[in-house]
Structure 1
Amino acid sequence: MYRNPITSITVAEALRKMERYCAYQERCHKDVEDKLRTMKLIPEAKEKIILHLLDQNFLNEERFAKAFARGKFNIKKWGKQRIVRELKFRNISPYNIKTALKEISEKEYFETFHKLAEKKYHSITEQDKNKKRKKLVDYLLYRGWETTLVYEKVNELIL
């Protein structure tokens, strides 16, 4: 069936779609605004929808930040720097970023870092110590782990 690209969506339809979109997984304001932009709604309708989502607790920036930090740390093994960078990219407030980082316990943070570094160290087949060191450092820094942690661990692993 051919659908005319000019036909617009009603505010009620857009509202239902956005409720489902936010209920499916935590979203930040930027995600919602980007999605609304694709629906080509007038600014007043977008604002009305965002206010409704906030009012009905479909959209909650603090909850998003906490879920994002927990998920990226537990699943992707990201360090705090990468998590902060990604949250800033999504225009999350410094307060919410700080709150989100509290979701990660210090003990668990360091345990995960050490396990990740050792696992990667053993998986690098490079024989040249300097190249092996560089690969390990690049990997850990890209994942957002703190520079001091990375260099201490690399020096401990590669003598």
Structure 2
Amino acid sequence: MDAPDSIITAVERHPKTASRYLIFIDGQYVLTVHEDVLIKHRLLKGERAEPDKLRLVLEDEEQQRAWSDALKQVGRRPRSEKEIRQYLKRKQYLPPLIDRIVLRLKEQNFLNDADFAAQWTEQRIYSQKKGRRLIKQELQLKGVALATIQQTLNQVPVDEEQRLAFELAVKKWKLTSGGALDKKRKTAAFLIRRGYSAQIVSNAVRKAAETFREEADASDESDMWDWPEA
């Protein structure tokens, strides 16, 4: 004689999370599911709970959790595709599921490396006053394609980057001790570390020296600086 089918004997709302439900089968708690999974699989009191059905429920519940985890990440700040993939991998989701989540994020425009690169660049350029060389390195580490990075950086006006580098040069110059030659070297090294190109560094340092001309003697003022690309 075949064993009787298991039956869902109770469905209770989660006490702390309104969108989740506790499922009881044959009087015993078995699992917690999101309301979307509950509705999709008709997990109602009195319904049969066949093993194949429960397997599909568990698969959909894992996908729902992965989707929820991914949404929380992109909701906190823009993310690159590589960042999301690494995060979901750390959460121990399997590659096929990660692929599905990433595709869904792209389809719903939650994940777009071109938009991510543009926002990242704007924040680094204007808020942190970093040069495009350093920004390029950061975006490469984030997994953004080189062509996308170059296209994004090409949108940054060179004169704007030069203006921001000069502002930094003036601040650094004021805080640097020593003569004009020391100030030039230390200011240039500082700007190079910030990721500015050799040409922009040279122009910014020269302009800063001219601004504080009274601190520089004639020999320092005539000194030409050719800073190699780092």
What is the TM-score with the length of structure 1 in the denominator?
Answer: 0.84
Residue 3 of structure 1 is matched in structure 2 by none
Residue 74 of structure 1 is matched in structure 2 by 126
More displaced 10-residue stretch of structure 1: 26-35 or 67-76: 26-35
Asked whether 1:105 is paired with 2:157, we answer yes
- What secondary structure is seen at the aligned counterpart in 1 of 2:195? coil
Distance 1:72 1:80 in 2: 9
Counterparts of residues 34-73 of structure 1 (less than 5 Å): 34-73=86-125
Distance 2:158 2:199 in 1: 15
User: Whose helix proportion is higher, 1 or 2?
Assistant: 1
The amino acid across from 1:120 in the alignment is: K
Q: How many residues align?
A: 150
Counterpart among 200, 217, 223 of residue 149 in structure 1: 200
Distance 1:147 1:120 in 2: 17
Residue 94 of structure 1 is matched in structure 2 by 146
Distance 2:160 2:178 in 1: 31
Asked whether 1:31 is paired with 2:53, we answer no
- What secondary structure is seen at the aligned counterpart in 2 of 1:104? coil
- What secondary structure is seen at the aligned counterpart in 2 of 1:115? helix
- What secondary structure is seen at the aligned counterpart in 1 of 2:83? helix
Distance 1:130 1:137 in 2: 11
The CA deviation at 1:33 is 1.4
Change (3 A) 1:146 1:67: same
The CA deviation at 1:130 is 4.4
Distance 2:161 2:181 in 1: 27
The CA deviation at 1:112 is 1.1
More displaced 10-residue stretch of structure 1: 90-99 or 69-78: 90-99
Structure 1: 5+ residue stretches without partners: 1-8
Structure whose CA Rg is larger? 2
The CA deviation at 1:30 is 1.6
Contact map agreement 2:162 2:204 (CA 8 A) in 1: no
What is the TM-score with the length of structure 2 in the denominator?
Answer: 0.60
Counterpart among 172, 188, 191 of residue 140 in structure 1: 191
Contact map agreement 2:106 2:112 (CA 8 A) in 1: yes
The percent identity for this pair of structures is 23
Distance 1:106 1:131 in 2: 27
If asked which structure has higher relative contact order (CA below 8 Å, sep 6+), I would say: 1
Structure 2: 5+ residue stretches without partners: 1-60, 210-215, 221-230
The CA deviation at 1:102 is 3.6
